[in-house]
């Protein structure tokens, strides 16, 4: 994979990068794609990465990266990591429970197709409208909030509930995290062969032992891989948080948004470093996802 990343800019940089033993016509076919990818994906990203290591006069420095170790920026990253990790963890657990209920729980067959369709819709229902839906239902004047207060005498606010907080953001993100988990893990659960269970049973395994020693080890790479994917998915999200809690909510993507718009950190270099930090975090999460997915495909196909 890393070789690919290095080879790509070189091959798209121009006709000079042609391999001598290949007829040039072959490269013409992929040239438009490579040129577009280099201009609008790779170069912009590399520009941010290299700028993170430069000071105002353009010479090399690590000050920008050290600058991230400032309480407010550290707090922004930490809140982002918490929101992403918890929403990924809960999303995985709830999505797994729902998928298991659909596949293994003896629910009527006809439930599955609508649930999968809905998951497809909900996993793409993100951004600004999703925030609106949550404000209208569990916000301070939301219908569910008012219903609980007026009909059941439960005041969510008095119990510490606030939609415009870390937990509010987590609850909202779960709306696309859970369906994504369902979409990914359902095929994996369907791939658990009946024979494995029968083989385990005929060797005297209990249901619990089957899960602990056969099913979970097979599913674990899928589950952990999806956890990483969901983490990265939440970490880069801007719009939902923006529409929900506003531009002052201190998480990394919103801080970067404000920095791009108006240099709120008072140091352009710090903005690049902030972006670099985000690339590193989502990059690691995605790399883990790719590795784990390759492992899970060994048993489940």
Partner 1 sequence: MTRPAAWVALVLGLLYFVIPLWGMAEFSLRMRRGVYSLDAYGSVLANPEFQRTFGFSVLMAVVTILVGVLLVVPTAYWVRLRMPRLRPVVEFITLLPLVIPAIVIAFGYIRLYNTGSWLPLTGTAGGANVLLLMGYTMLALPYMYRAVDTGLASVDVRTLTEASQSLGAGWGTILGRVILPNVVVAVLSGAFLTFAIVIGEFTFAALLDRPAFGPFMQRVGEDSAYEPSALAVIAFAITWACMGLIGLVTRTQKHTRAGA
Site for partner 1 in 24-63 (CB under 8 A): 26, 29-30, 32-34, 36-37, 39-45, 47-48, 51
Q: Which of residues 197-226 bind partner 1 (CB under 8 A)?
A: none
Single out the residue of 15, 20, 106, 160 in contact with partner 1 (rule: CB under 8 A): 106
Token pair for 124: 């793409």
Least separation in angstroms between CB 160 and partner 1: 19
Least separation in angstroms between CB 275 and partner 1: 5
Could you give the CA distance from residue 167 to residue 208 in angstroms, rounded to a whole number? 33
Least separation in angstroms between CB 272 and partner 1: 8
Give the number of C-alpha atoms closer than 13 A to the C-alpha of residue 97, restricted to the C-beta side.
6
Q: Which of residues 180-199 bind partner 1 (CB under 8 A)?
A: none
Single out the residue of 242, 245, 270, 292 in contact with partner 1 (rule: CB under 8 A): 242
Residues forming beta bridges with residue 54, ordered by sequence position = 60
Least separation in angstroms between CB 66 and partner 1: 20
Q: Phi first, then psi: give them for residue 269, nearest 5 degrees.
A: -60, -35
Least separation in angstroms between CB 20 and partner 1: 15
Is the Cβ of residue 11 or residue 82 nearer to partner 1 in the bound state?
A: 11
Number of residues engaging partner 1 in binding (CB under 8 A): 80
Least separation in angstroms between CB 70 and partner 1: 19
Return the number of other C-beta atoms located less than 10 Å from residue 15's C-beta.
9
Single out the residue of 65, 100, 215, 218 in contact with partner 1 (rule: CB under 8 A): 100
Contact call for residue 73 and partner 1 (CB under 8 A): no
Single out the residue of 73, 92, 135, 219 in contact with partner 1 (rule: CB under 8 A): 135
Is the Cβ of residue 48 or residue 205 nearer to partner 1 in the bound state?
A: 48
Contact call for residue 236 and partner 1 (CB under 8 A): yes
Secondary structure of the chain as H, E, C letters = CHHHHHHHHHHHCCHHHCCCCCCCHHHHHHHHHHHHHHHHHHHHHHHHHHHCCECCCCCECCHHHHHCCCHHHHHHHHHHHHHHHHHHHHHHHHHHHHHHHHHHCCCCHHHHHHHHHHHHHHHHCCCHHHHHHHHHHHCCCCHHHHHHHHHHCCCCCCCCCCCCCHHHHHHHHHHHHHHHHHHHHHHHHHCCCHHHHHHHHHCCCCHHHHHHHHHHHHHHHHHHHHHHHHHHHHHCCCHHHHHHHCCCCCCHHHHHHHHHHHCCCCCHHHHHHHHHHHHHHHHHHHHHHHHHHHHHCCCCC
Is the Cβ of residue 178 or residue 224 nearer to partner 1 in the bound state?
A: 178
Least separation in angstroms between CB 202 and partner 1: 22
Q: Which of residues 273-292 bind partner 1 (CB under 8 A)?
A: 275, 278-279, 282-283, 286, 290
Contact call for residue 124 and partner 1 (CB under 8 A): yes
Single out the residue of 13, 128, 216, 294 in contact with partner 1 (rule: CB under 8 A): 128
Is the Cβ of residue 220 or residue 290 nearer to partner 1 in the bound state?
A: 290
Is the Cβ of residue 47 or residue 212 nearer to partner 1 in the bound state?
A: 47
């Amino acid at each position: 994979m890393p070789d690919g990343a290095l080879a790509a800019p070189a091959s798209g940089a121009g006709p000079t990068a042609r391999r001598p033993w290949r007829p040039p016509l072959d490269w013409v076919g992929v040239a438009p794609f490579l040129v577009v990818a280099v201009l609008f994906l790779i170069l912009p990203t590399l520009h941010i990465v290299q700028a993170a290591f430069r000071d105002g006069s353009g010479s090399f420095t690590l000050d920008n990266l050290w600058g991230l170790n400032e309480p407010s920026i550290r707090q922004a990253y930490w809140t982002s990591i918490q929101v992403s990790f918890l929403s990924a963890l809960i999303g995985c657990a709830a999505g797994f429970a729902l998928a298991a209920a659909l596949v293994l729980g003896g629910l009527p067959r006809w439930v599955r197709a609508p649930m999968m369709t809905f998951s497809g819709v909900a996993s793409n229902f993100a951004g600004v409208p999703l925030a609106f839906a949550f404000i209208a239902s569990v916000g301070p004047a939301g219908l569910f909030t008012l219903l609980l207060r007026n009909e059941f005498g439960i005041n969510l606010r008095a119990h510490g509930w606030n939609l415009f907080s870390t937990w509010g953001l987590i609850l909202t993100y779960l709306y696309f995290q859970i369906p994504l988990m369902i979409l990914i893990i359902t095929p994996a659960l369907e791939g658990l062969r009946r024979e494995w269970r029968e083989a385990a049973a005929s060797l005297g395994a209990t249901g619990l032992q089957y899960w602990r020693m056969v099913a979970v080890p097979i599913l674990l790479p899928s589950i952990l891989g999806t956890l990483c994917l969901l983490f990265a998915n939440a970490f880069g999200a801007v719009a939902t948080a923006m529409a929900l809690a506003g531009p002052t909510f201190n998480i990394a993507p919103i801080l970067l948004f404000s920095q791009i718009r108006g240099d709120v950190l008072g140091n352009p270099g710090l903005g690049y470093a902030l972006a670099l930090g985000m690339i590193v975090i989502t990059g690691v999460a995605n790399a883990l996802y790719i590795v784990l997915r390759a492992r899970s495909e060994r048993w489940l196909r």
